[in-house]
Amino acid sequence: MRPSEVRDRVLSDHRHLSERLDRIEGLARGVLDDREPLPSTLRSEAEALLDRLAIHMAWEDLHLVPILRAADSWGDVRTDRFAEEHREQRELLGYVLRQLHDLDRPEDVVAGNVLDLVALLRADIVAEESVFLDERVVRDDPVVIDLLSS
């Protein structure tokens, strides 16, 4: 897969994830604003989001990381930073998932934590796109393509 195709796929995933974040945010705000009971749809949507994020990050690790490493002399530094961000995201996702499964946790706390997660994920998407998906880094450079195919 060419670097530009990987970049396009990640950006497409980010758009789909952002749509899910919008839905989940609306559900969580409904719990906090209206003091409605935590709808089962919020739990199921949030769990589906966490599953999708795990798949997305694994795909990035498999396909994007080699491109980041081969892009230039900053590759190792860039991939170390990328790996650290994914590690932190996985820890956060695990924490939120445990809360979603804890039926004794107050609903407004769960909804608030889901909103915090949504805000953090949106910020992470923006940062990832500006730092790791910049067209000057993820590009169809013949040297990079040659390194990836060897």
Tell me the C-alpha distance between 1 and 13, whole Å: 16
Give the model confidence (pLDDT) of 7-35 as tens digits: 999 999 999 999 999 999 998 998 888 86
For the chain, the domain total comes to 1
pTM for this model (two decimals): 0.87
Domain that residue 88 falls in: 3-149
Q: What's the CA angle centered on 91, arms 40 and 62, to 5 degrees?
A: 100
- Choose from 49-53, 92-96, 140-144 the range with maximum mean pLDDT: 49-53
Which pLDDT score, from 0 to 100, does residue 38 have? 66
